[in-house]
Amino acid sequence: MLIMSHRTLIIEDHSKLLFIGDSITDAGRAQPAGEGLFGAHGTGYVNVVAGLLGTVYHEKKIRVVNQGLSGNTVLDLKARWDRDVIDHHPDWLVVMIGINDVWRQMDLPLMTEQQVNLAVYEQTLDELVSQTKPNLKGLVLMSPFYIEPLQQDEMRFKMDGYGLAVKRVAEKHQAIFVDTQAAFNKVLKTWYPAALAWDRVHPNQVGISVIAKAFLDAVGFDWNGS
């Protein structure tokens, strides 16, 4: 007989759960704050997370806010951090950033002002976490990803390095680390990259579900609820 173990969602009742990042988080969310009616959470993984938390853990009344912004790097997050994070007073914060930090090195190689090297990326993320974590109940740092199974691919290789930087910051500050690249790697055993994201970056419904599941697994989501 199969015995199903029960997991416990670690996000507390009535928490404000704020997501911040780039276009993968943004996904067409409402402005200036992504919460409310009429698709305010956008069409990405944040919307999947909000829907599942509101359905399975409806009694917890977790408030989800999407503050992703397309095209952002970690330096863009720093510029709007007070307005889009601190001023919202979140209980839980989820950060996923880094794709554009790497991508601009690949598609705009001569425009160095658009690029964020690894050292600056890690230092800036560490500064933002140091500033914010003391006022949070929980912090989740999610690695950037590239939907490409070949690790020797130049952009995938660089992205893995930025993912390791996120892991180092998470370990330093005892935050929850979500390895989204590892989550995609499992699916890429049977899916061709273009079937998940035409550009290997902006995922379709399957791709956003991969990200949502990785996050929900990390915070103890259980289909049976609490």
Place of tokens 């095209």: 71
Question: Pick the catalytic residue: 13, 82, 107, 199?
Answer: 199
Cα 86 to Cα 79: distance, rounded to the nearest angstrom = 12
In total, the chain counts a number of residues equal to 226
- Give the three-class secondary structure for 178: strand
Question: Pick the catalytic residue: 88, 126, 173, 202?
Answer: 202
Q: Which of 204, 86, 210, 196 is nearest to 149 (CA)?
A: 196
> Which residues are 5's β-sheet partners?
none
To the query of whether residue 199 is one of the catalytic residues in this protein, the response is yes
Cα 114 to Cα 108: distance, rounded to the nearest angstrom = 8
Whether 85 contacts 20, CB under 8 Å: yes
For strands 92-96 and 63-66, give the pairing: unpaired
To the query of whether residue 202 is one of the catalytic residues in this protein, the response is yes
Cα 100 to Cα 71: distance, rounded to the nearest angstrom = 6
To the query of whether residue 14 is one of the catalytic residues in this protein, the response is no
Based on its alpha-carbon atoms, the radius of gyration of the chain, rounded to whole angstroms, reads 17
Q: Is 46 exposed, middle or buried (0-12, 13-18, 19+ CB in 10 A)?
A: buried
Question: Pick the catalytic residue: 22, 23, 26, 179?
Answer: 23
Active-site residue numbers? 23, 199, 202
